[in-house]
Amino acid sequence: MAYDSAFGFINDPEGTEEIAYWSTHGPDEQRYYNHVCLFYGANPDERDDLAVELGLPQDRAEYCPEEFDQANSSWSLIFDEMEVAENAGKLVYEYEGSAPNGLLDRIMQQEVSDMNDTLSLPRDVGVVVLSCGEANAYYDPQKIEIQFCEEFIPHLETIWEKLQ
């Protein structure tokens, strides 16, 4: 899971896209290393091989336990409140795309189910696959839903192939 989620932050494995420093997100490569660092920092004794394999520089690795402790203390209260509770909100999945994709549909259903087994939310949140006209994913606060654009699928497949 750590490998897959870390690689999810690399949208440009070749490093050919121009970095949009004005964007709300940091550069992909930096997000990748932050993710690897936090995972490593949670248990450096058992995850040293993983850090080496994922290319975490030793200079950065030295500070990862402290970075994990800081992130953990910042987020732990929020995550504690999200533990599964009775009558809690759930993620509610729906496929509204133009061309149903059986594999994507099964993956999304399983991911939503797994998250619902782990988290509770203050209210239901939709998870909708739909045609957006671009390769992206969004959160719509008016509809209270995560919108996953079906055009994002070929983009993710391309990234996956480049990483293989």
Average pLDDT in the chain: 79
User: Which is higher by pLDDT, 76 or 113?
Assistant: 113
Query: What is the reported pLDDT for 82?
Result: 64
Query: What is the reported pLDDT for 35?
Result: 84
Residue position matching structure tokens 């939503």: 112
Question: CB neighbours of 60 closer than 8 A, spacing ≥ 6?
Answer: 33, 37
pLDDT over 80 (residue 56): yes
Q: Which pLDDT tens digit goes with each residue over 113-150?
A: 988 888 888 889 999 988 888 888 889 999 999 998 88
- Where does the pLDDT of residue 63 fall: very low under 50, low under 70, confident under 90, or very high at 90 and above? very high
Residue 139 φ then ψ, to 5° = -115, 125
**CB 60, CB 33: distance < 8 Å:** yes
Enter the tokens of residue 49: 């091989």
Question: CB neighbours of 136 closer than 8 A, spacing ≥ 6?
Answer: 149, 151, 152
How many helices (H) and strands (E) the chain has is answered by 7, 4
pTM across the whole model? 0.55
Dump the DSSP string for 70-134: HHHHHHHHHHHHTB--TT-B-EEEEE--SS--HHHHHHHHHHHHHHHHHB-BSS-EEEEEE--SS
Region 21-33 average pLDDT: 65
Query: What is the reported pLDDT for 115?
Result: 87
Q: Delimit the domains of the chain by residue range.
A: 2-81, 91-163
Residue position matching structure tokens 């390769």: 135
